[in-house]
Amino acid sequence: MCWRCCVAAGYLPTGIEYLGTGRTRAQLLGLLAAAAVNARQALRVAKSPADAMGLTDPAVTDEALIAAMVAHPVLVNRPFVCTARGVRLCRPSELVLDRLDRMPPGPFAQEDGQVNVDAQRNRVL
């Protein structure tokens, strides 16, 4: 939904294949700060080894989570979307709409059929 929505609204998004290239500690810290989320909020638990690695334990520090996320990029929830309106961790994906200056032509729906933009290009909540 995120990528399709941006393209439909007329944006040419740049995707970063972070699973292949990873992020540096500084890059990850910059994204977290810009999106105003901490490491635990950005930890991907579903379809990741986070639980098996013991990272879902509340006693695990943000520093330990960040180190694990740098070493294992799959542990970072996604997508982080950066626009002129700011940075946001867009999970669920329709949150990307709040970062766009213009909506895609509507009606626009998610893959599951839920309409997020009506025929007048208004956000449907």
**For 39-73, what is each residue's pLDDT tens digit?**
999 999 999 999 999 999 999 999 999 999 999 99
The β-bridge relationship of strands 115-117 and 86-89 is unpaired
**In the structure, what pLDDT confidence band is assigned to residue 1 with cuts at 50, 70 and 90?**
low
**For 68-100, what is each residue's pLDDT tens digit?**
999 999 999 988 888 888 899 888 888 888 888
For 90, other C-beta atoms within 10 Å of its C-beta total 21
| Superfamily of 2-117 according to CATH | Glutaredoxin (3.40.30.10)
Max Cα-Cα span within the chain? 48
Residue 12, CB half-sphere, CA atoms under 13 Å: how many?
Answer: 0
Apex 30 CA angle, 17 and 37, nearest 5: 95
| Domain-wise residue ranges, the chain | 2-117
Q: What is the H or E stretch that residue 88 is in?
A: strand 86-89
**For 30-40, what is each residue's pLDDT tens digit?**
999 999 999 99
Is 118's pLDDT higher than 70? Answer: yes
In the predicted model, what is the mean pLDDT of residues 121-125? 89
